A and B are shown apart, each in its own frame.
Chain A
Amino acid sequence: MMEAMTAENAKEMLLYVADKIIGEKDYLTQIDSTIGDGDHGIGMSGGMKKVKEKLENQDFDDVYAVFAAAGKSMLMSMGGASGVIFGSLYLAGAKNMSMAAEISAKELAEMKRKSLEAIKERGKANVGDKTMVDALEPAVIAMEENSDKSLLEMLTAAEAAAQQGVEDTKQYVAKFGRAKSLFDRAIGHQDAGATTVWLIFQGMREYIEKHDGYKV
């Protein structure tokens, strides 16, 4: 069982997630076109390409530095609301942390909690507003509830919670973005940002599952 994540694990995991999101570009675009402005897939895949450029050519000995570098690449290149929000998903929790060659499941959960709080503070969004917070908050709570277990068990729980969060967004009226002006017409459609959060957690779980049992 993988009990701790090294900096190299973290780098490979975020590269795996980046490839996954780039591969889902058309799917995300299609979801966003229904009630949003249709640029979410393009924006996310552009940001994830910057993450790859940054991480691929650098060696890391600090797990937090990996997350911070990835977050900063997105924040400084994407623009739009997604750049700040998804950049913060990686960056905010890793900011001002002392160097760590590896982190435990509990520490990963703590990092995501910090990111969640920063995103809610900046975006002024809460659960029920039909945003990525609808997937992220339950995922973070699931991590916290399972943080004494293995990384795989914890991320499996987080992925399931995020997926349920995406389902839940279908019932909500949007409070932000273009969908806001749709009022009841947004009901029945899932939020694109929440979908991306779910895919990111799914990517993290898949990476850990593939590499469970050994450290890189």
Chain B
Amino acid sequence: MKKIMNSAENVIDELMEGFVLAHNKYYLKHNEVNGIIFKEKRAGKVALVIGGGSGHEPLFSGFVGRGLADAAACGNVFASPDPNTIYETAKTVESGEGVLFVYGCYAGDNLNFDMAEEFLVDEGIKTAHVRVWDDVVSAPKERIEDRRGIAGDVFVIKVAGAACDEGYPLEKVKRMTEKVRDNTFSIGIATSSGQLPGVNKPIFELESDEIEYGMGLHGEPGIKRTKLAPADQLVEILYKNLMEEAEIMKGDEVCVLINSLGATSLLELSIIYRKVHELLSKDQIKIYDSDLNTYCTSQGMGGFSITILRLDEDIKKLYNKPCFSPYYAKEEVK
């Protein structure tokens, strides 16, 4: 796979530089560390700080904005940011009401965010965190804390951002964010590998006529490899697994996100959604909102995930608040 880049050791610096230059209307970069900061400083609210490894853009930096996160702490490619980057980024946007961290559940992120929280707590700053673990096939339900965070990050960040902007205190923001996390479920397949900048081979090997169920965002092995099948068949299998895990029932109301990992096109996402819509309708599950997009990516990887968010009145109210970033915008659903 061809990569447009200069040198491997400069990719993160040049990513930060270009990203902030392009969006300087909204963002600035922290002076010392790789933190993307929303320019509209919003006082009197809990600061929402998100983050993780780089290379999944627009996640996480593109989810900094109005009604969304106040800042994103960015690591090297596919590696958690260090505690100092997280700490400094959070310090910049904290305004007295504390900080909520939202990030995907991975060993590296858990360790580094925990340590950054300790630094903040030592200074008397209130903190909390919610780890996103929406990938239902990455571990069994009994070990839910071993599950990984994938495209479900989008719904969790959206609702957490709205809760912060409502001016809720830290405890309540955390509770609402946990609730949306606990009602967000994803499942996906990979069709082809991406390639990391500076590494002259694909992240994983997959035959041209094969797909892998449940493969992770960093090429973590999934649960099953099979031949490619028609879209409707793939969706039926994924849908069945997802619904069993999510325990979504007739009469429930949901939001749906079909996320492309990078190489899968909107044409394909639409074909996928068509079948998801048919299956949800057949099961008499109400669709409140849908999104077909490329939010959570993996350096040119092919494949997609289906994410379902089960709504209740609290979550719906927050989901319905408008938000804006250059990569994610929602109007009130009428």
Which A residues have a C-beta under 8 Å from some C-beta of B?
37-39, 43, 75-85, 122-123, 176-178, 180-182, 185
Contacts and interface: CB of A to CB of B under 8 A. Distances in A.
B68 to A, nearest CB: 23
B79 A77 contact: no
Interface in B64-89: 75-85
- A37, A79, A84, A178 pick with most chain B CB within 10 angstroms: A79
Interface in B44-68: 53
B143 to A, nearest CB: 10
**Pairs of residues from A and B, 3 with the lowest C-beta to C-beta distance, nearest first:** A80-B79, A81-B108, A84-B111
Given A75-B83, A122-B111, A176-B107, A80 B221 contact: no
Contact of A38 (B53, B114, B199): B199
B126 interface: no
B216 interface: yes
Interface residues of B, number: 27
B80 A80 contact: yes
A185 B78 contact: no
Given A81-B107, A81-B111, A185-B221, A37 B78 contact: yes
Contacts of B114: 122
Given A123-B111, A176-B107, A79 B85 contact: yes
Contacts of A77: 82, 84
B147 to A, nearest CB: 11
B219 interface: yes
B58 to A, nearest CB: 20
B79 A39 contact: yes
Interface string B269-281: 0000000000000
B84 A37 contact: no
Contacts of A182: 221
- B77, B79, B84, B199 pick with most chain A CB within 10 angstroms: B79
A80 B115 CA distance: 12
A83 B84 CA distance: 11
Given A38-B199, A76-B83, A84-B112, 18 more contacts: A37-B219, A39-B78, A43-B79, A77-B84, A78-B82, A79-B81, A79-B82, A80-B75, A80-B112, A81-B108, A83-B82, A84-B111, A178-B219, A178-B220, A180-B220, A181-B220, A181-B222, A182-B221
A79 B75 contact: yes
B11 to A, nearest CB: 12
B79 A79 contact: yes
B218 interface: yes
B253 to A, nearest CB: 33
Contacts of B107: 81, 123, 176-177
B76 A79 contact: yes
Interface string B93-120: 0000000000000011001101100000
A99 to B, nearest CB: 22
A181 B112 contact: no
B193 interface: no
A57 B285 CA distance: 65
Contacts of B78: 37, 39
Nearest to A29: B199
B138 interface: yes
A187 to B, nearest CB: 14
Nearest to B220: A181
Contacts of B216: 178, 181
Contacts of A43: 76, 79
